Structure 1
Amino acid sequence: MAKTGPILILEDDQDEREIYEKVILSLGVKNEIKFFEGGDDLLRYLQVTTDRPFIIFSDINLPRMSGMELRRQIQADEFLRKKSIPFVFLSTIESAEIVEEAYELTIQGYFVKKYVLSDVQKQMGQILDYWRDCKHPNA
């Protein structure tokens, strides 16, 4: 994780993508934001990029490859796993079983999506502040 590296957002809903971009920019975050519609697209990017991403925000229900499957693929690949990129789910799913499954994949956070702009801003700000301040093996 490089604190100045790109923020990777796996989200297939265009409206939510626009909200996340607006919120991150309103927080004064200077990191580049890269959006992906499917987990397979993000996985291919991670396998070939020389970028050192700051964090991955992922929805769960996505076309082609779910956020859960993406996380499994990252964990199964030693090269990607050792990049130690913080992986956070942002989802509408509140099921205890899904949350438990997500944490079994050693994610670094699971948050239920907010829909009021001020709540999205607060949630995103808290997550980004935490990871900016956190000590990390690849920082």
Structure 2
Amino acid sequence: MAKSGPIIIIEDDPDDHEMIERILLKLNVENPIKKFMDGESALQYLQSTSDDPFVIICDINMPIMNGLQLKESIDTDKRLRVKSIPFVFLSTTANPQQVKQAYHYSVQGFFLKGQSYEALKNSLHQIVSYWQHCVHPNNLT
């Protein structure tokens, strides 16, 4: 995790993409934002970039490659696993089976988008603030 690295948003709903980006800008987050509509395109980016992402914020229910499949693919890719990129789910639902499976893959959080703009803003603030203050193996100098 690089504190100045990009925030990776993986979300198949264009309206949610826009709202998440707008909230991050209102929160004065200076990290670049990279957006993807599915796990497969995000995985291709992660496997081909030299960027060290700050955090991955991922929806769980998406076409092509869902969030759980993406997290499993990251965990089985030696180069990506070593990067130790913080990975959190941000979803409209918290199906108990999916939550258990997410933590089986060692995600660092599972957040609900909430039913309002303020709820989503609060969740994003908590996610970003936590990782901005967290000491992480990849940001020790």
- Would you call these one fold, judging by a TM-score over 0.5? yes
Alignment of 1:89-100 (within 5 A): 89-100=89-100
Correspondence for 1:75: 75
**Counterpart Cα distance in 1 of 2:115 and 2:9:** 17
1:39 is displaced (CA, Å) by 0.5
1:96 is displaced (CA, Å) by 1.5
The number of residue pairs the alignment matches comes to 139
Correspondence for 1:57: 57
Instruction: Give the secondary-structure state (helix, strand or coil) at the position aligned to 1:41.
Output: helix
Task: Determine if the alignment matches structure 1 residue 8 to structure 2 residue 4.
Answer: no
Q: Deviations over 1:111-139 (max 9, x none)?
A: 11123111211111111000000010111
Q: Deviations over 1:83-125 (max 9, x none)?
A: 0000000112222121111000010000111231112111111
2:2/2:53 contact within 8 Å kept: yes
Task: Determine if the alignment matches structure 1 residue 66 to structure 2 residue 56.
Answer: no
2:8/2:35 contact within 8 Å kept: yes
Q: Supply the AA of the counterpart residue of 2:66.
A: S
Q: Deviations over 1:9-53 (max 9, x none)?
A: 000101000100110000000101110011010001011101110
2:113/2:119 contact within 8 Å kept: no
Instruction: Give the secondary-structure state (helix, strand or coil) at the position aligned to 2:102.
Output: helix
Q: Supply the AA of the counterpart residue of 2:60.
A: I
**Counterpart Cα distance in 1 of 2:117 and 2:93:** 19
**Counterpart Cα distance in 2 of 1:61 and 1:70:** 11
Instruction: Give the secondary-structure state (helix, strand or coil) at the position aligned to 1:138.
Output: helix
**Runs of at least 4 residues off by over 4 Å:** none
Alignment of 1:1-139 (within 5 A): 1-139=1-139
